[in-house]
Chains A and B, each alone.
Chain A
Amino acid sequence: MRIKTIAIISAVCFAMSPISWGRAAPPAVERLRYENRLLKAELALAGKPALYLVLDLDQKKVYLKGNGYVLKEWQVRGARLWGPQAPAKPVKLLNKSALLEPRREKIKPKKPEEEEEATDTFDIKALELKDMPVSYSLSMSEDVLISVRPLREGVLSFPARLCRSVKWYATRPLLTVWNAVWGKPFTAIEVTLDEADAQALYWAVPEGIENLIYYISDD
């Protein structure tokens, strides 16, 4: 009896999952309209003396731009989407978070009587690219959450991917419900990058940077 109940609930869940909803491809007109809105937004951003990020999932690229000029681009190795289409306007990076966040070194001012020892070796205590995390989340305005994950290969890559998938499908619905309670939409995007690229992206995007997210979902 209990097994039957669980089976029915599972079937209902699966039927309601975003994957199984039969969605028609967006008409070309909608695509043009959406692209037009994003291009207008980018034109406004490109006119400002600030950097901005473009996550183009159609081209599978992440671009860091300034004045419309591509300063850096990274190849997206994989992507996963959740929830409604990201808004066709700039979203601001509110917060970067990682399990192991890089820590800034605190300089201790020298005491007046302290003499500097003559030495040939330098112990550089600085925040460098290699200190950046490879797995982190970027919380954007408009309730958009971008998770960046490293592309791993080898024996442990499969269990790692499996764990990530379980976490994704367990936590995304809960966050969706939580946001729905407050009347807000929730869009989650997971992008997989090469490890070095994930570190470089973390380095390159300061909090407050504006972002454009290009992708046409099928809803």
Chain B
Amino acid sequence: MRGLKGARPPASGHSPRRNIQGLRPPAIKVLVILLIGLFLTEAAGFYIAGRGRRNTSGPRAATPSRAQNAALKKKIAGLSPGGIHIVIDTGRNRLFLKNGKRTLREAVISSGSGSILKDPSGKRQWVFDTPRGVYTVKTKFVHPNWIKPDWAFIEEGEKVPKGIAGRVEEGVLGDYALGFGNGYFIHGTLYTRLLGRNVTHGCIRVGDEDLKAVFNASPVGAKVLIF
């Protein structure tokens, strides 16, 4: 009662409720407006997502039959390698020698490390990934020699020779090598304890027995599918 007794009527004639609103910090108002804006934007997003269609402009083809679609599926399946081919799983470091759908041999391999080497001059860089894609066996060698590329010298901190002399190294690629393009090979290794790990500069290293089987079975032109 004492409080009421001491209360004064508002000077400007506003009601007390309006006065309370007037005391609210402007930041809250801004926040409320932003929240309403966000809410409306969200609502608009839901609306557009529910109604939106992609522009599928283009010639409206005649309605295909189920038989036509089945024929297309058959055509796609027909492109699959039928004879001897090699499938390489770089994630699990496995090589599969296949004949059609049948797996003839499964081998543990080493594939690319994914590491990066920069030339100290800063002009060149190498990423040691095994390339992924569909390739073919292009070349086959018995007792191959390794022609060391520039990165092999740079990694070892050695001077890069100008010509081919000084680049040839014997006995490091094992007994056989199958080239599938761009200087990449499926070859043997001295580091058999690293089979199953990603340690190479992009080539595929295979143990001796498996390499022999792959080499003998795969003709030049055989498909190599790497993923």
Contacts and interface: CB of A to CB of B under 8 A. Distances in A.
A105 B116 contact: yes
Contacts of B46: 13, 16-18, 173, 176
A200 interface: yes
B165 interface: no
Interface of A is mostly: mixed
Interface residues of A, number: 70
Contacts of B194: 122, 124
Contacts of A106: 115-118
A112 interface: yes
Contacts, number: 196
A111 B49 contact: no
Contacts of A47: 79
A16 B154 contact: no
Contacts of A180: 44, 48, 52
B72 A114 contact: no
Interface stretch (B18-26, B126-134, B213-221): B126-134
A88 B55 CA distance: 11
B29 to A, nearest CB: 13
A214 interface: no
Q: How large is the interface on B (under 10, 10 to 19, 20 to 34, 35 or more residues)?
A: 35 or more
A127 B198 contact: yes
Most buried by A among B47, B78, B155: B47
Given A69-B80, A107-B117, 17 more contacts: A18-B49, A35-B69, A39-B72, A66-B225, A66-B227, A68-B77, A69-B79, A83-B52, A105-B114, A107-B115, A122-B193, A126-B114, A129-B91, A173-B44, A180-B48, A180-B52, A219-B53
Contacts of A51: 132-134, 225, 227
Interface string B93-120: 0000000000000000000011111101
Interface string A142-186: 100000000000000000000000000010111111001000011
Please give me the 9 A-B residue pairs with the lowest Cβ-Cβ distance, nearest first. A173-B45, A127-B114, A126-B113, A110-B157, A18-B50, A69-B80, A39-B72, A36-B64, A68-B76
Interface string B59-102: 00101111011001101111111000001011110000000000
